[in-house]
Chain A
């Protein structure tokens, strides 16, 4: 599936974008962590777009990416950024505001 295909799919409540730079172990780890967390908490309501900056370097500018990996929560608003390999699940949940939205 290409990014274009991904964009064509129906909008989800949670739109996440993971920026990586090449298939590094850290990137793989981040992606796996993210998928696990999403499956646990947002099953069926999320979409993950992965942008490899090595292939699309110009995209780094738009979301002000400096650190890699960076997870950007495009939706729901407001925009949130989480850097690192997402191995600290608690922090990811806080960073994405998932806990509050799930808990009530």
Chain B
């Protein structure tokens, strides 16, 4: 009989770095880079996941386990992995990742596309990866057992890299692999206690359960500090991921659902309610890129950080105004984000070149970024998250969403309004001037279909006027908060020299635009000339009449003079004659002496 037995019943001294020493390494909690002073009691461990730290007020509970549950493909593994990788890379906290469902090679390959180089982190001793495989068919249960093997592996991994963070993805595989649920449950309870005692911040993922159960095997029973639910829903054939913090002991948290997105940098959670109406307000003005439009807006253009709506019917020049704005912002050396939901960048650049706006040079200089996407590609929230990401990465000073009305395809008016409210709050908070264009129906010039007027600080309306077999564009400022703006309508003229605003011809009872305006102006000019000519000839006529009258007066006066002189003459003659007569009579009397 031969047997070799190695069984050391000797010393119970356990070397450092083994399970026996597992409580020794617990360190005082480190101060956090982003600790929020408003949160009392609980220390937080930043995840580095965009948005998640905002809605949790600084991160996950430090030194405690957090349960992340969700359905298949909801992003649980990614959240856990980001927590570990970002902890190691950004926060100087090495981590341990235990995968129960994927091999480490698969895991590394899956997250490589997000820019996470797991093998490098392992080499730098910032990360310990382990794949725990439990195959039910290979395992026979023959009596009592515990999970000390798992504890040992965990402890060894934690000590190996001095880990501050641990992720277990997903523990529920144990339920499938190991018989005797009673033992398993007791051991899981012990595991969570153990993790807490070691002072590691842990993320434990679990499959979402049915009905009111958060997890399939009731893990929420053991993790009481923080529970996060990830969820993926499909509405109108568009899938949206959402994240909700179900519970966060000792910390204020919002019960809202937050849209979540898996991007090329990893998870993004969109904080919604953390914003509000308390953004900084600027009195700085931003040129619209159209001198006469600036003049209409109190002489200086938009307010920086304001929201502007340019609405109008099809083809009335909304995009041209947007492009002109983009051109002027970029020309000042600031960055501009152009979100187009209709046209490709190439098409926009080509089209705008036709009205003398060269957007291509700004793209080349990196000042102008185009983001073109069909609205139906994903849900409203996803659009919003994408926008958040781009604004954060590119930090533009102004953006355009052209047109925003296309979002109608993927949401109800109410949803769109809610989304735009968030978007505007976010952009205003960052002082980004936002110009929306909206397509309106023919009938309602002053109502955009989304009913978002109250969100807008400045509203410019474009409308088409049809007359004399022409369609011409009219522009006016419907409202502009905080500035004296023009009440005038202007004709909006697009030419190869750019955008021009021309005074409309406002005659009695009619407004004329286009060639009609030109015609009318010509007609007016002609009529004026004729009237002038008329007046001149009439004047001449009257002068002539005057001259005639004056001539007549002269001749009558001459006659009068003649009459007067004749009367004088004749009077003298008569006197002489009477004198003579009297003289004769005296002579006669004297001659007659006979009397």
Contact = CB atoms under 8 A, between A and B. Distances in A.
Given A57-B155, A66-B134, A83 B145 contact: yes
B9 A66 contact: no
Interface string A39-75: 1000110111111111101101100111111110000
Q: How large is the interface on B (under 10, 10 to 19, 20 to 34, 35 or more residues)?
A: 35 or more
B138 A84 contact: no
Interface stretch (B15-23, B504-512, B547-555): B15-23
Contacts of A92: 140, 142
Interface stretch (B146-154, B335-343, B536-544): B146-154
B31 to A, nearest CB: 31
A92 to B, nearest CB: 5
A44 B148 contact: no
Contacts of A82: 139-142
A91 B146 contact: no
B143 interface: yes
Given A21-B152, A61-B153, A66-B134, A87 B5 contact: no
Contact of A87 (B3, B7, B18, B143): B143
Interface in B120-144: 130, 132-134, 138-144
A46 B15 CA distance: 31
A104 B34 CA distance: 70
B568 interface: no
A21 B149 CA distance: 7
Given A60-B153, A68-B147, A50 B7 contact: yes
B130 A61 contact: yes
Contacts of A43: 1
Nearest to B173: A66
Interface string B385-406: 0000000000000000000000
A100 B132 CA distance: 31
A48 to B, nearest CB: 6
B140 A95 contact: yes
A66 B142 contact: no
Contacts of A80: 138, 140
Interface in B248-283: none
A88 interface: yes
Interface in B154-198: 155-156, 174, 177-178
A87 B4 contact: no
Most chain A beta-carbon neighbours within 10 Å: one of B5, B7, B133, B146:
B7
A31 B139 contact: no
Interface string A4-31: 0110010010000001011100100111
Given A21-B19, A86-B143, A60 B152 contact: yes
Contacts of B156: 57-58, 60
A68 B183 CA distance: 12
Contacts of B444: none
* Chain B interface mostly: loop
B142 A68 contact: no
A26 B145 CA distance: 8
Most chain A beta-carbon neighbours within 10 Å: one of B1, B2, B15:
B2
A84 B142 contact: yes
A46 B17 CA distance: 33
A64 B132 contact: yes
A92 B141 CA distance: 8
Nearest to B146: A68
A50 B5 contact: yes
B8 interface: yes
B144 A26 contact: yes
Contacts of B132: 64, 66
Contact of B9 (A3, A23, A94): A23
A102 interface: no
Interface in B6-32: 6-9, 12, 14-15, 17-20
Contact of B143 (A12, A23, A79, A85): A85
B144 A84 contact: yes
A54 B4 contact: no
Contact of B3 (A47, A51, A95): A47
A98 B240 CA distance: 55
A58 B159 CA distance: 11
Interface of B: 1-9, 12, 14-15, 17-20, 130, 132-134, 138-153, 155-156, 174, 177-178
17 contacts: A3-B6, A5-B4, A30-B143, A35-B5, A48-B3, A53-B148, A57-B17, A57-B155, A61-B153, A66-B134, A66-B174, A81-B138, A82-B139, A83-B141, A83-B145, A85-B142, A85-B144
Given A29-B143, A67-B146, A81-B138, 7 more contacts: A5-B6, A21-B152, A47-B3, A48-B5, A55-B14, A83-B140, A91-B142
